[in-house]
Amino acid sequence: MKNPATSDPETSGGWQLENTYARLPAPLFTRQLPEPVSAPQPVLLNTALAEELGLDPEALNSPSGTAILAGNALPRGSDPIAQAYAGHQFGHFTMLGDGRAVLLGEQKLADGTRIDIQLKGSGHTPYSRQGDGRAALGPMLREYIISEAMHALGIPSTRSLAVVLTGETVLRETVLDGAILTRTADSHIRVGTFEFAARCGPDILQALTDYTIARHFPNCAETANPALELLSATAARQARLLAQWIHAGFIHGVMNTDNMAVSGETIDYGPCAFMDAYDPETVFSSIDHHGRYAYGRQPGIAQWNLARFAETLLTLIDNRPETAIEKAEDVLKRFMEQYQTAWLATARKRLGLTASEPEDEALIGDFLTWMREAAADYTNTFAALCADELPESAPFDQAAFKTWHARWFARLTRQTGGPQTARQKMRRVVPAVIPRNQKVEEALNAAVNDNDSGPVQSLLKVLAHPFNHGGIPKEYCTAPPPGTPTYRTFCGT
Ligand code: AMP
Ligand code: MG
């Protein structure tokens, strides 16, 4: 086992790292090497993503590549740090930080883009608190599957480059195999990072603000009020993101402010899952006792998180507190409007409505109301509407559905191209498949209990093409039969 502190950095494999975040003032991070592990073993490698990053998949799959992905060796240009952050967890403020992750640096792409490369499960850091700094195989594979599914659905997300076994065990309720996920992101700057910086004083906050603007929203730098524009640009991205989550039936599960990325990517896949039967009250997370992060509450929670973000920026927005609050409140109000606009635009596409008619919103709303009352499967019901032939089976045999369907069909007939063209377009926005909870569990069980990553690989292949209507094996699309106990998810530690 090599000690990354003393061995030479790996120069092969296409690594072009630089850690600009590590040039920020000290309290925002701590230099931290990954803790070496005893026997790294590759489990999954995302070849397509590696290539996008300019990395050589073959080199990554070799023992020296695996050593990097396990934290036993450092790639060229890396400058590993653990980032400090705070956050509101279920509404309560806490000091946090990367307790089991290190940021190696940013991979510089040919077009000038920088992508964070983070090892998750890489050992203790100064922010580990009581934790062991490690991760178990199941949750890391789960993050890999769901984040890659989100990406394929066109939803901004952190991505997963690889999972390796550490050769060591971790103790949770039972003894489990330890693993490390290599996560990529536009950055790991969270709302909680600003909450931390704001408590460190004006210079630190200013430094983080300038860095974030330069990295994600360079246009804001040229404006009269960069901090206000940063808030506004972040809110606009979150509005679009939340509309995408809601349309995909995605439930993040733990929308704490430390789990909201300022870049607008979905981040921190713990107890997340996709809804089966349509119900805005759906909660999967075993720790979300009051449904704070229920499916339908997510846009409101995003707004709440943005309010915490706004609070950190007030002094930079205006030195008159009341004026600063007024300006920030305008942005937060606009967030809900932007969300509604983004939601409605996609809702129209999902039902194939091209031209606009005054009754459209009622048509969409009535469909959702019916789905809820019928406990219809969210994904499959939309997918069925895209098909040329509608099934005659339940719930499509219900009178309430037939009445709605006649209205919808008449509506499509009135527009150019009629139902045929509408359905073709719908098939490009309505997924035929989502990561079904039972399929995810089945695949994880095979990998974790039987050392067989085959089912995970097969699932990933299917999820990489979610709009492949008619081409997806039925088993991946089957909704849980009525009476199936509610799916439960756990925080992935
Ligand atoms: P999460 O629930 O993954 O968003 O994590 C919340 C906080 O707990 C973050 O600061 C994590 O770094 C930290 N954390 C989670 N699991 C561990 C662990 N096994 N060891 C140390 N810190 C952890
Ligand atoms: Mg987190």
**Both tokens assigned to 120:** 């998750």
Rg (CA), the chain: 23
How is residue 221 annotated by DSSP? Answer: G
CA 378 to centroid of ligand 1, rounded, Å: 32
Task: Say how far apart CA 44 and CA 39 lie, in whole Å.
Answer: 16
* 417-to-350, 364, 452 alpha-carbon distances in Å: 16, 20, 48
**271 CB near ligand 1 (under 6 Å):** no
Task: Say how far apart CA 92 and CA 59 lie, in whole Å.
Answer: 44
Task: Please give the pLDDT value at position 9.
Answer: 63
- Whether the Cβ atoms of residue 114 and residue 106 lie closer than 8 Å to each other: yes
Task: Say how far apart CA 247 and CA 269 lie, in whole Å.
Answer: 18
Task: Please give the pLDDT value at position 7.
Answer: 55
User: b/e per residue, 113-134, with b = 16+ CB within 10 A?
Assistant: ebbbbbbbbbbbbebbeeebbb
Task: Please give the pLDDT value at position 231.
Answer: 98
Task: Please give the pLDDT value at position 332.
Answer: 98
Task: Please give the pLDDT value at position 490.
Answer: 85
| Given 98, 186, 258, 318, the catalytic residue | 258
Task: Please give the pLDDT value at position 492.
Answer: 60
List the helix and strand counts (H, then E) for the chain.
Answer: 15, 13
CA distance from start to end of the chain: 25
Task: Please give the pLDDT value at position 451.
Answer: 97
**128 CB near ligand 1 (under 6 Å):** yes
Task: Please give the pLDDT value at position 483.
Answer: 84
The H-assigned helical ranges of 120-269 are: 137-152, 191-200, 202-216, 226-248
Burial of 438 (0-12, 13-18, 19+ CB in 10 A): middle
**178 CB near ligand 1 (under 6 Å):** no
Active site residue 258: yes
| Residue keyed to tokens 């026997």 | 39
How is residue 14 annotated by DSSP? Answer: T
Pocket probe for ligand 1: among 94, 100, 196, the residue whose CB has the most ligand atoms within 8 Å is 100
Provide block-wise average pLDDT over 10 residues at a time, the chain (493 residues): 54 91 98 98 98 97 97 97 98 98 97 97 98 98 98 98 98 97 98 98 98 98 98 98 98 98 97 97 95 98 98 98 98 98 98 94 98 98 96 95 98 97 98 98 98 98 98 97 88 65
Task: Please give the pLDDT value at position 1.
Answer: 46
DSSP string for 437-476: HHHHHHHHHHHHHS---HHHHHHHHHHT-TT-TT-S-GGG
